Amino acid sequence: MKIVILTKRTLAHGFGGVEGYVHHVARAAAALGHDIVVLASAHPKGAPADARDGYRVEYLRGTAPGVYSDAFWSASAAAVARHSPYDLLYSTNLAGYGAAMAGVPRPHVAWSTGRTLTHLKSEWHDRTGVRGLAGYPKAALALVYYAALERRLYRRLDAIIAGPTRPCAVAAGRYISSTRASTRRASGPTPRCAARAARRSAFPATRTSC
């Protein structure tokens, strides 16, 4: 299979949960014999591409390193289209927004670490000092904006894979999940969880499982 992984950040941008996840998924898939290309925002040092552990990374020129922006979503959509045909487009969080809005070939599956608005609380707790608190309103408005984009993205996905912080996994026609949510498989979906997931994601309740 040819799999295109679309993400805002890689290990070249720094170490974190998403960066490590993308690396391990790409490495494992490549070890299984799949053709893996990772598309990411510009390299901090300007490198156009990189190769490691059996997969290759292409850094999108003209974008800011590690930042969501109109330039990133436009460049990523063009890069994804350039790599078509592929068997799967796999994006992280909001990285696939531009590609989804551009109508790139599907299937398109996204890995989500949590709802955007849940970060409002963590943003508040992480800020210290007068300057940090003064910057909170701007950060909060950005999160509200991203939440609207997130909802539009979810309407155009074939499936969402839930990260460890999501109690409900949402899928278009089938259930795909990880960690805690997968423990619900044996007993089947709960109506309450399915309804909540459908309401938050814009997927119809009949296509939602938990």
For 163-197, write each residue's pLDDT tens digit: 654 434 433 333 344 433 333 333 344 555 555 55
In a domain, 142, yes or no: no
In a domain, 62, yes or no: yes
Could you give phi then psi for residue 112, rounded to 5 degrees? -120, 130
Confidence at residue 170, expressed as pLDDT on a 0 to 100 scale: 39
What are the contacts of 71-76 at 24+ separation with CB within 8 A? Answer: 72/8, 72/41, 72/98, 73/97, 73/98, 73/99, 73/101, 74/98, 76/6, 76/39
Confidence at residue 73, expressed as pLDDT on a 0 to 100 scale: 96
Confidence at residue 120, expressed as pLDDT on a 0 to 100 scale: 60
Q: How confident is the model at residue 210 (pLDDT cuts 50, 70, 90)?
A: very low
CATH label of the domain that carries residue 95: 3.40.50.2000
In a domain, 99, yes or no: yes
What is the rounded average pLDDT of the residues 84-94?
97
pTM of the prediction?
0.75
24-70 confidence digits (pLDDT tens): 999 999 999 999 999 999 999 999 999 999 999 999 999 999 999 99
Number of domains within the chain: 1
- Which residue do the tokens 């299984």 mark? 32
In a domain, 87, yes or no: yes
> For residues 208 and 87, which has the higher predicted lDDT (pLDDT)?
87
In a domain, 52, yes or no: yes
In a domain, 106, yes or no: yes
In a domain, 206, yes or no: no
Q: Where in the sequence is the domain holding 6, given as residue range(s)?
A: 1-113
Residues 6+ apart with CB under 8 A from 143: 116, 117, 119, 120, 123
What is the rounded average pLDDT of the residues 140-163?
86
What proportion of the chain, given as a percentage, has pLDDT over 70? 66
In a domain, 154, yes or no: no
Euclidean distance between CA atoms 106 and 12, whole angstroms: 28
Task: Report whether pLDDT(103) > 90.
Answer: yes
